[in-house]
Structure 1
């Protein structure tokens, strides 16, 4: 316990952590001020070392397999909250600092996302049972950041507002051809088709495409939407608009030029693209080891400096940038609470270890948007400087029209 105690003593500055060791001994860390008190119990002595060497991965795995349990009313969210408000001191620990440098040096290796590897990694997450996602997403199965006009707005209203906001930015005209890179379960494709567009939607998940096609038929727009089971690098075509929502996070740092190059090549000269992605407000970093191993293998949240370096290399105009700072925090908060309310149903679909993995994931990303550096950005990109209206009032004007307002 000595190594682990030294680590916890150095970084638990806010709140208090009580650790009950394998032999029943109780160890307390932190002042108890400006944060919660969380009690955990360790059931395996091997955790003393693994938690010291790689706390995020080891804690997640131990919570999944039950060798780390929450005690005295503490929850996974409480535990992750305490971790998140003490994140800065953890990074300052000498051993943790060295480990993070090592992970950063390996990040291109972790994100060698060839076409076939990228397909396999996407299916790892998106070919899970759609019934799992129905437990916590809105009725439209939107699995990306919603657009909250108020923190207490319902998830359904916020996701509907997100779709409206994106379609408003596309500035669509009747029968425009739109390429969607990463189509999810079809909600955005349906909304664009209802606005008059003809949509080609790329997706590498057969499970998602199956459901999306059913939803498109139910909406009566199957003549305006076609789904293509291809990686973006396998596709060719020219479109008036390109849109990509929640897809760029899966591209990987070594493939940003491939991604933006495909966006550029698929645009007509006077066309433009809308890109919606998670980003970070800090310098380039790495993907957390738990998320990388269990949730989004090959995924990476880019810094804007990395994004703009790529658009600069490829000669794309960044015509508009919008930063959504707390919207994804509200979104994942609502997902987590819904998942907690449907935990038994999730366990029946999978098992208890899966539920604990999903809990750990949702808590981690929610708090990453509350206390960490994560945010969401939306870009308008074009090849020609005048492809996008020079005053962004058109977005609000279009939103009002889409909402039936004058």
Structure 2
């Protein structure tokens, strides 16, 4: 770490928080109450960790929160600029990584290359806190609130909080296919014009893995905005697709009708636990992350129950290493507080164990995390370039910084290999063994 010390921040640093709607974002608009000692300890731990990383840290007087200040030659370490160091350390000392994210939303820190900065932190996540202090993790992390549990009613609320934000919001950064999951590119790096074809390539790969063709009776768990259902129907399949998002269902129905396949596709508001019937194939794309560990047995049990003999379940899933999943499972994170309430990214081990317990076998497992990083880069660049449109939709300053951090944070997870994305095929391999502890 290289530390640059220009003049100390003045009271103008509070201008970032002044832009925050205190009613909508109470924990961003105000600083947490905590002791000076706790803040000092956080400062010591964080500064010690940063000195070991390929980062430059700059302490600067407040400026417009969205200003980027490129520094150094290409290939030099990214710069993390602290506009209000006291607030930054105070939030981290009180709320850990939740505080880190809220500090960004408040404009108290910035970076000349946000993704690069977050990638450095993700690559060294296990080194940020000294070994002796990791046992005291409970001092700065919070338990997930029980209100976020994905009961039948809770899952509907959680999905509403993210996917029902606004179809127009998602259209500002997604490509015309409105596909909100990793694309599969012909080559990397890619440009914005490559994204629609890459999303179709991903969908077609999943449908191929599911053996989708004329007469296939296909169930999709998690409709999105209908692109997979349309492409399956164009192959001659009969498709039942289910979602918990009213906004998504309304637009998916219009898009399916516009594609001329409404006679082959039904779109329902239905929880996966309440589904019936038997299907030649079940496809579920990046939906397991919203299930929650407590309900993984029910999810995999539903896949097994809904598959006809000889059928295939095809999943696309974001994954993380098993040990990190265990550490994250009961922790309330910035992502779970602001972006995906009730969600948990599984590990490949957890998927394998849950599949086996439900009487399923993983017969295909392929990853392509680099493609997700590229997908997220294109989404983030498009989102930033259309900031005025996002504002016109009613999304405020704090939301825009939250969404930028969410996209950059996710991209960094894939660039650092902290996260991966897998396409898996499950078949009925045995009788169910009963439930197993999802977090074993």
Q: TM-score, normalised by structure 2?
A: 0.78
How far did 1:282 drift? 4.0
Aligned CA RMSD, in angstroms, stands at 2.6
**Is the 8 Å Cα contact of residues 125 and 296 (structure 1) preserved in structure 2?**
yes
Work out the CA distance in 2 between the residues paired with 1:23 and 1:222: 54
Please list, as runs of the form range in 1=range in 2, the aligned pairs for 1:12-161 lying within 5 A after superposition: 12=50, 13-20=52-59, 36-43=77-84, 45-66=86-107, 68-70=108-110, 74-92=112-130, 94-95=132-133, 98-99=136-137, 106=143, 112-153=149-190, 154-161=194-201
Which residue number in structure 2 is paired with residue 187 of structure 1?
Answer: 227
How far did 1:324 drift? 2.0
Work out the CA distance in 1 between the residues paired with 2:214 and 2:106: 54
Partner secondary structure for residue 59 of structure 1: helix
Partner secondary structure for residue 135 of structure 1: helix
Work out the CA distance in 2 between the residues paired with 1:37 and 1:262: 46
Q: 1:78 to 1:169 in 2, by over 3 A?
A: closer
**Is the 8 Å Cα contact of residues 147 and 162 (structure 1) preserved in structure 2?**
yes
How far did 1:95 drift? 3.9
How far did 1:320 drift? 1.4
Which residue number in structure 2 is paired with residue 289 of structure 1?
Answer: 333
How far did 1:308 drift? 1.0
Structure 2 residue ranges without an equivalent (≥5)? 1-38, 64-72, 431-440
Work out the CA distance in 1 between the residues paired with 2:45 and 2:140: 19
Which residue number in structure 1 is paired with residue 361 of structure 2?
Answer: 317
Structure 1 residue ranges without an equivalent (≥5)? 25-31, 386-406
Which residue number in structure 2 is paired with residue 399 of structure 1?
Answer: none
Partner secondary structure for residue 10 of structure 1: helix
How far did 1:21 drift? 7.5
Match among 359, 372, 390 for residue 328 of structure 1: 372
Which residue number in structure 2 is paired with residue 176 of structure 1?
Answer: 216
Work out the CA distance in 2 between the residues paired with 1:80 and 1:182: 30
Partner secondary structure for residue 142 of structure 1: coil
Work out the CA distance in 2 between the residues paired with 1:166 and 1:157: 14
Q: TM-score, normalised by structure 1?
A: 0.85
Work out the CA distance in 2 between the residues paired with 1:91 and 1:237: 50
Q: Give deviations 1:85-107, integer Å, cap 9, x for gaps.
A: 44232144544553269859x46
Please list, as runs of the form range in 1=range in 2, the aligned pairs for 1:201-220 lying within 5 A after superposition: 201-220=241-260
**Is the 8 Å Cα contact of residues 322 and 346 (structure 2) preserved in structure 1?**
no
Which residue number in structure 2 is paired with residue 355 of structure 1?
Answer: 400
Which residue number in structure 2 is paired with residue 376 of structure 1?
Answer: 421
How far did 1:3 drift? 2.6
Q: 1:69 to 1:373 in 2, by over 3 A?
A: closer
How far did 1:111 drift? 5.9
Work out the CA distance in 2 between the residues paired with 1:243 and 1:108: 30
Partner secondary structure for residue 18 of structure 1: strand
Q: 1:333 to 1:92 in 2, by over 3 A?
A: farther
